[in-house]
Amino acid sequence: MILDQTTIWIVIAGLAVGTFLIRFSFIGLIGDRELPEWVLRHLRYTAVAVLPGLIAPLVVWPAATGGNPDASRMAAAVVAFVVGMWWKSVIGAFIGAMSTLYLVQYLMG
């Protein structure tokens, strides 16, 4: 499907205005005000909700393997979860996952 340049630029401009308005609604309109406690409590869980959604597809359907599940990435994800839960260390989970990923890939050839 080939679109003309006018349509493409209209879509780009519409998306730019839309994302600007979404960000401005938080930063420009309420950026200088104190947020209620219940809003701050819910915002604490944003990273916990977003990160698994970003990482899970990379583990389950990695582009490096053509979308097929890979044992080395699954093992690295399990190690990252266990280390993160056990020692409560993001850096430790990262180092453990990377070490596991490279070790399993090396052992599997």
| Residue in 104, 102, 97 with CA at minimum distance from that of residue 78 | 97
Contacts (Cβ under 8 Å, ≥6 apart) of 92 = 83, 84
What mean pLDDT do residues 9-35 have? 91
Q: Give the tens place of pLDDT for each residue, 41-72.
A: 998 999 888 988 999 999 999 998 899 999 99
In which band, very low, low, confident or very high, does the pLDDT at 35 lie, cut at 50, 70 and 90? confident
What are the structure tokens assigned to 93, written together? 């989970």
Q: How far is CA 40 from CA 34, 44, 50, 81, in A?
A: 10, 6, 16, 26
pLDDT at position 109: 81
What does the mean pLDDT of the chain come to?
Answer: 92
pLDDT at position 38: 95
